[in-house]
């Protein structure tokens, strides 16, 4: 499997026409997944990385931190491992909470990808490092077999299903997965279903191969996973960000600094991708959950959906951006926001569940093994609740989306893409 980072290019497409995702499996028979990162080769070391985290200003991070920093929330980062000794992550990584069965290499990042994701989520920014969007949250690291792992370490390192199940049994409320594969893994699907039963909010990048094959990517396409697309500061979706009806939200993911390699000597420019978008979405959820500790994963997700920036009807989500761009500030600023029912699944149409947990009836619950993950049939996904956007917010960056149509370049061929719906 590959990671979902996105260090590969900066071409963009209007958010209204969401493009998107598929990171193909690398030796899926061996359980190797791919990182969902796009970017350039390690070349330009960033001297001031925080000034290049453009989304912190765009999302009004300083205002949000007055309300919530993510304190009290633990996030499982299932990735290439996390280096807890970087200046930005000192004191942020809960190494002792990783079960022995999946602990091999958890703090030895073989790629630097997992460490970048952890810093984007919970980094303190100390020492000029990346500033996390939820600096009050904590990271529980899980190392899995992704592309780039040495052969001699592969069998010692946890398979994705093992790590997800361990995370489900941990105190982590959120499981962040910046990797993808185009192959269905029954063990991973079972682990995801288990994590859902434990009340976890699971987020995954949709992948960065839209310009090539745009095959369905997993885990983002499984039921109960929030699939995230990548966008730039102007509100445009990346050309490489994969698309389909499993894309649920869009988040910042282009032109971001990242660790160049596993030596952790410097940051590089022009990183990002759906990996970074996943991390930033996970951090956004942490901000909300910290401010509302009595909410469930369903309620946190519902408010992210209800307040997402979009210029299309909420009941007709786009194939490229789903319900729109994440705007956690809108949730934190509204003390009267309605999070909906604690056990009502905000992605019930895609998940084919209706409701979850004790509220679910036999007729409303559909076995994932007997149905395709996140239905690919036509129709619009229904999100409960309504959103209202003030004129002030609509005037802000990441508050207004583009035109109803956009010209998208894929594989060298340009064609007009109307704002696509999931059923389109």
pLDDT tens per residue, range 325-373: 999 999 999 999 999 999 999 999 888 764 444 333 322 222 222 222 3
Q: Which of 86-95, 131-140, 375-384 has the lowest mean pLDDT?
A: 375-384
Residue 124 above 50 pLDDT?
yes
Residue 72 above 50 pLDDT?
yes
Average pLDDT, the chain: 79
Among residues 37, 68, 113, 290, the one annotated as catalytic is 113
Strand partners, 93: 139
* Known catalytic membership, residue 391: no
235 falls in which pLDDT band (50, 70, 90)?
Answer: confident
Q: Of 25, 31, 188, 2, which is closest to residue 111 (Cα–Cα)?
A: 2
Please tell me which residue, 47 or 203, carries the higher pLDDT value. 203
Q: Which domains does the chain have, with CATH numbers?
A: 2-418 (3.40.50.200)
Segment 399-423 mean pLDDT: 28
* Known catalytic membership, residue 234: no
pLDDT number for residue 4: 63
* Known catalytic membership, residue 113: yes
Residue 404 above 70 pLDDT?
no
Among residues 24, 176, 275, 387, the one annotated as catalytic is 275
Q: For residue 75, what is the enclosing H or E element?
A: strand 74-79
Residue 106 above 70 pLDDT?
yes
pLDDT number for residue 229: 97
* CA distances in angstroms from 137 to 92, 280, 286, 364, listed in the order given: 8, 13, 7, 35
Segment 83-111 mean pLDDT: 97
- For residue range 311-325, list pLDDT tens digits in order: 999 999 999 999 999
Q: How many CA atoms lie within 13 A of 403 on its CB side?
A: 8
Contact criterion met (CB below 8 Å) for 85 and 52 = no
């Amino acid at each position: 499997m590959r990671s979902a980072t996105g260090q590969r290019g900066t071409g963009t497409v209007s958010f209204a026409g969401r493009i998107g995702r598929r990171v193909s499996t690398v030796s899926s028979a061996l359980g190797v997944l791919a990182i969902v990162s796009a970017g350039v080769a390690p070349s330009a070391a960033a001297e001031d990385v925080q000034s290049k985290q453009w989304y912190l200003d765009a999302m009004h991070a300083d205002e949000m931190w007055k309300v919530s920093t993510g304190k009290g929330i633990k996030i499982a980062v299932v990735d290439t491992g996390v280096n807890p000794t970087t200046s930005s992550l000192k004191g942020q990584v809960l190494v002792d909470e990783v079960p022995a069965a999946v602990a091999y290499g958890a703090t030895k990042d073989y790629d630097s990808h997992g460490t970048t994701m952890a810093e984007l989520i919970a980094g303190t920014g100390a020492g000029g490092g990346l500033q996390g969007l939820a600096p009050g949250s904590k990271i529980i690291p899980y190392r899995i077999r992704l592309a780039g792992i040495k052969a001699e370490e592969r069998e010692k390192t946890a398979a994705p299903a093992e790590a997800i199940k361990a995370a489900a049994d941990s105190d982590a409320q959120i499981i962040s997965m910046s990797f993808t594969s185009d192959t269905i893994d029954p063990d991973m699907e079972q682990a995801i279903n288990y994590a859902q039963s434990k009340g976890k909010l699971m987020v995954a990048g949709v992948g960065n191969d839209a310009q090539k094959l745009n095959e369905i990517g997993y885990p983002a396409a499984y039921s109960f996973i929030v699939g995230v697309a990548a966008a730039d500061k102007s509100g445009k979706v990346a050309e490489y960000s994969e698309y389909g009806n499993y894309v649920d939200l869009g988040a910042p993911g282009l032109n971001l600094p990242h660790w160049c390699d596993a030596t952790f000597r410097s940051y590089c420019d022009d990183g990002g991708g759906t990996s970074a978008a996943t991390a930033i979405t996970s951090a956004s959820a942490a901000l909300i959950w910290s401010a509302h500790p009595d909410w469930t994963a369903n309620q946190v997700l519902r408010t992210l959906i209800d307040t997402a920036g979009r210029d299309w009807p909420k009941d007709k989500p786009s194939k490229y951006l789903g319900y729109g761009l994440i705007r956690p500030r809108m949730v934190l600023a509204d003390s009267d926001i309605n999070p909906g029912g604690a056990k009502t699944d905000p992605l019930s149409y895609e998940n084919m569940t209706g409701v979850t947990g004790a509220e679910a009836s036999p007729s409303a619950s559909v076995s994932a093994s007997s149905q395709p993950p996140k239905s690919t049939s036509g129709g619009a996904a229904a999100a409960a609740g309504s959103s209202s956007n003030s004129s002030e917010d609509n005037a802000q960056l990441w508050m207004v989306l583009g035109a109803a149509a956009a010209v998208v370049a894929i594989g060298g061929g340009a064609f007009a893409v109307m704002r696509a719906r999931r059923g389109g």
